[in-house]
Structure 1
Amino acid sequence: MGGVDGNYKAVIAMVVLQCITAGVTLFSKVALSQGMSPLVFVVYRQSFATIIMAPLAFFSKCVTANNNTYFEGLNLSSSTIATAMLNLIPAITFIMAAVVG
């Protein structure tokens, strides 16, 4: 009764991940609203991610995508739209895979 049941660990992890994603999106929107260029922001973000993730990527197979369009879109729109678009990525990926075969 004191611990978390194994069935809820995945749900808790997904909720925590969504909260972190929302926080990063809000932080990004604030930085862009303060006048930071989206291209410079992507360079900083990718640089810090490389420094932090390089040891993990060295020992596993990690894939990264270019975020220039994401941050340019975040700069031109709201953080609500950016977060909603992140949730559409799996659906868009499925549609593209179905079309391509």
Structure 2
Amino acid sequence: MNNFFKGFAFGLFTGALTGAVTALLLAPDKGRNTRDKISYRVQKYLDELNELLDELTDEKLIVSDAKSKGEKVVMDAQKRAEDLITEAEDLLKSISQKQGE
């Protein structure tokens, strides 16, 4: 899933950048103005890409934390179930011994 997001973000960035550069190069304007527009757009898309990557990193940390907490809950539940099984076995032995008396 993580590779999907990386590929998607890269494709989105590349497509947007290519479209912006093509549009600016085909528009009639002075060379300096065109270069300024390209520079501005590239910086804008880089900023947006960095924000997206930051959000993805935050989401990854949240998922990782949830996974860790979930694993702890499962381990605690498994330990408690084992303790209950042991208690039940001890209780059955005790009942069995009392019936044998």
The TM-score, its normalising length taken from structure 2, stands at: 0.30
Greater share of helix residues, 1 or 2?
2
Tell me the TM-score normalised to structure 1 length: 0.30
State the structure with bigger RCO (CA 8 A, min sep 6), 1 or 2.
1
